[in-house]
Chains A and B, each alone.
Chain A
Amino acid sequence: MARLTPTSSHENPFRGSWLVRSIWLLAAGYLIYSINAMDLKWSRIQDGMGHAGTMLDRMFPPNFSRWELLLSGLAESLEIAIIASIVGIILSLFLGLFSARNFMPNWVSIPMRGFIALCRTFHPVIIAILFVKSVGFGPLAGILTLIVASIGFIAKLFAEAIEEISLKQVEAIRATGAGFASIILFSVMPQVFARFIGFSTYQLDSNLRNSTMIGIVGAGGLGGTLFSAFQRFDYDFVSAILITIIALIMFGEFLSNIVRRIFR
């Protein structure tokens, strides 16, 4: 076999770059600095394990004797999640449509996108604190919080789904002389409906989870019960609450699987 004999000389394209190497070095340096600054030591984790052990010990067996309190918290969480999901999904339908760049002029879609991005900026806990301060303690603050969180997430997904549809079907419906609303209902919605259902059930799932947490800052639901149980060191009641939350989330998962199967 004849050997390949190059006659020209080229620069090796795979030579390491000094810039990349120094960026890696810098990153490693910063990591070490941060660990020192945070005073992270293995001994603290070992001690922590011991505390966690005693806590787990006291959590067992779970104490369901105050089941009425538990159940009313659970019902409140469920209601917050369901109301917030339904209102949030309906609002997101419109917001998503208005921020889809292939259907709306820039002067509509850009402000809408900005608003949705703003809804997504803050963690639900921060939004919950803001709403508790403005509308007071209780489930209303929780519902408003989760509506904002839902918009931030699914309105954006809705908009992206609408931007990916086939415009051929839209063109055909437009050619029949249909008005704007009919065009949306008969050429856009059929193309995105199944995905919307998927996003919506996912959001319901996530709202259920969050509805058990916002109570910690006083926005209603099971989280409030959990927080006060922690503060009173009622670890057996805490474990009962945690088990209930697990059951709730699993139930939500089960429900959304059914919904998704129906609309496939």
Chain B
Amino acid sequence: MTTTAGIADTQTLLSIRGLQKEYVAGNPILKGIDIDITEQGIIAIIGPSGTGKSTLLRCINRLIDPTQGEILLEQQDLSKARGKQLRTLRRKIGMVFQEYNLVERLSVIENVLTGRLGYMSAWKAWRRNFSQEDINTAFELLEAVGLAEHAKKRADSLSGGQRQRVGIARAVMQNPRVLLADEPTSSLDPKTAVEIMELLERFALEKNIPALVNIHDVKLARRYAKRMIGMSDGVVIYDGPPEGITDDHLKQIYGGESWLV
């Protein structure tokens, strides 16, 4: 990897520069975020609720429009992309949601296949004219997340943990360059939460891509993350390996210390 000062690193997969977002003018929620991502595996973003973690992830795939700054995915600026270009960039970014956000009345396999919608015309999609390759991949992914026998069930008949697995399969189905996961474990019990983190790690390593995971469970984050980004009040306080994060950092990120046992 060669880095030349002043010139954007051509190896950088995702580069966020001076990202700002204000929902109300003059009241920024993100106050200039700079993050570069090159590595694969889980990158945990920790911080108290309301600090802009969710906003950060949603700015990356433009579910929210940033106010200022650039977001470069493979050297293409996402922050200004529109129409077809935006959709082509979006399909390179798989997203996993806190509340799974499956289309409840569609079958599990249909939900996984919606990961291909960015690659095909609406007309083909409507007739469920997915390529045989996509169908095979979808079933393999379902097998990989342990839900092969549920393929034809309706998504709303699954439990929370099962739904989140489908959510992950859908995101991976996009063949993404980056995975984003917004509090993927917050609505789940501790055991299922660990299983979901394991799945995310496994896919990130298998596909050789980074997975940016918003998470407020510091222990869980430390266990799986290769890198941790601590945010507080719209700025990055810590960015480095999980071993480097100290109680002082945590105090700075979350405020107070009574919760540190």
Known contacts A175-B93, A176-B90, A176-B170: A182-B102 contact under CB 8 Å = no
Which residues of chain B come closer than 8 Å to A2, judged between CB atoms? none
A186 to B113, CA, bound (A): 11
Q: Which of A9-17, A22-30, A60-68, A187-195 contacts B (4 or more CB under 8 A)?
A: A187-195
Q: Is A177 interfacial (CB 8 A cutoff)?
A: yes
B259 within 8 A of A: no
Complex Cα gap A177–B120 (Å): 10
- Chain A residue contacts of B104, Cβ below 8 A: 169, 190-191
1/0 per position for B152-187, CB-CB distance to A under 8 A?
000000000000000100100010000000000000
Which residues of A have CB within 8 Å of B106? 186, 190
- Contact string, B86-108, partner A, CB cutoff 8 A, digits 1/0? 01111111110101011111100
Q: Is B118 an interface residue (CB 8 A)?
A: yes
CA distance A34 to B205 in the complex (A): 82
Question: Quick one: given A168-B99, A182-B122, are A177 and B105 in contact (CB under 8 Å)?
Answer: no
Q: Are B63 and A174 in contact (CB under 8 A)?
A: yes
The answer to whether A169 and B122 touch across the interface, beta carbons within 8 angstroms, is no
A177 touches B95 (CB 8 A): no
A168 nearest CB across to chain B (Å): 4
Given contacts A176-B90, A177-B91, whether A182 and B125 have CB atoms under 8 Å apart is yes
Interfacial chain A residues near B117, Cβ < 8 Å: 173, 176-179, 182, 186
A246 at the interface (CB under 8 A from B): no
Q: Majority SS of interface residues in chain A?
A: helix
Q: Interface centre among A168, A169, A174, A177, by most B CB within 10 Å?
A: A177
Cα(A168)–Cα(B91), bound, Å: 18
Task: Determine the chain B residues whose CB is within 8 A of the CB of A177 once the complex forms.
Answer: 87-92, 117-119, 174
Cα–Cα, bound, A179→B121 (Å): 8
B61 within 8 A of A: yes
Interface centre among A169, A185, A194 (most CB of B within 10 A): A169
> Does A172 belong to the interface (CB within 8 Å)?
yes
Which one of A169, A176, A185, A193 contacts B91 once the chains associate, using CB atoms below 8 Å?
A: A176
Check A187/B122 contact, CB under 8 A, given A176-B90, A178-B114, A179-B87: no
Answer yes or no: A181 CB below 8 A from chain B CBs.
yes
Within 8 Å of chain B (Cβ to Cβ): is A164? no
Q: Which residues in window 158-177 of A have CB below 8 A to B?
A: 168-169, 171-177
Query: From A168, which residue of chain B is reached at the shortest CB distance?
Result: B101
- Most central of A171, A178, A187 by chain B CB within 10 Å: A178
Q: How far is the CA of A123 from the CA of B12 in the complex (A)?
A: 66
Give Cα A74–Cα B89 distance, bound, in whole angstroms: 58
B122→A181 contact, CB < 8 A: yes
The distance in angstroms between the C-alpha atoms of A168 and B116, with both chains bound, is 18
Which residues of chain B have C-beta atoms less than 8 A from A182's C-beta?
117, 120, 122, 125
Please name all residues of chain B whose beta carbon is closer than 8 Å to the beta carbon of A186 when the two chains form the complex. Answer: 103, 106, 114, 117, 125
The verdict on A193 contacting B103 (CB below 8 Å), with A173-B117, A178-B117 known, is no
| With contact pairs A185-B125, A186-B125 given, residues A173 and B90 touching in the complex (Cβ less than 8 Å) | no
Cβ of A9 to closest chain B Cβ, rounded Å: 47
Question: Chain A's nearest CB lies how many Å from the CB of B18?
Answer: 24
Minimum CB–CB distance from B100 to chain A (whole Å) comes to: 8
Evaluate whether A176 and B174 lie within 8 angstroms (CB atoms) in the complex, with A182-B117, A182-B125, A186-B117 already known.
yes
Inter-chain contacts of A191 with B (CB < 8 A): 103-105
Are B115 and A176 neighbours in the complex by a CB distance under 8 Å? yes
Give every chain A residue within 8 A of B95 (Cβ-Cβ).
Answer: 172, 175
Do the beta carbons of B90 and A193 come within 8 Å of each other? no
Bound state CA distance, A12 and B114, in angstroms? 62
CB interface residues, B 108-164, toward A, < 8 Å:
114-120, 122-123, 125-126
Complex interface: chain A residues within 8 A of B87 (CB): 177-179
Residue of A nearest to B95 (CB): A175
A189 to B88, CA, bound (A): 23
Chain A residues packing against B (C-beta within 8 Å): 168-169, 171-179, 181-182, 185-187, 190-191, 193-194
Instruction: Provide 10 A-B residue pairs closer than 8 Å at the C-beta atoms, listed in order of the A residue.
Output: A168-B97, A168-B101, A169-B104, A174-B90, A176-B94, A176-B115, A176-B116, A178-B118, A185-B122, A186-B125
Q: Chain B residues in contact with chain A, CB under 8 A? A: 61, 63, 87-95, 97, 99, 101-106, 114-120, 122-123, 125-126, 167, 170, 174
3 closest Cβ pairs, A-B complex: A177-B118, A177-B91, A181-B122
Known: A169-B103, A177-B118. 9 other contacts (CB 8 A): A169-B104, A172-B114, A175-B61, A176-B115, A177-B119, A178-B118, A178-B125, A187-B103, A190-B104
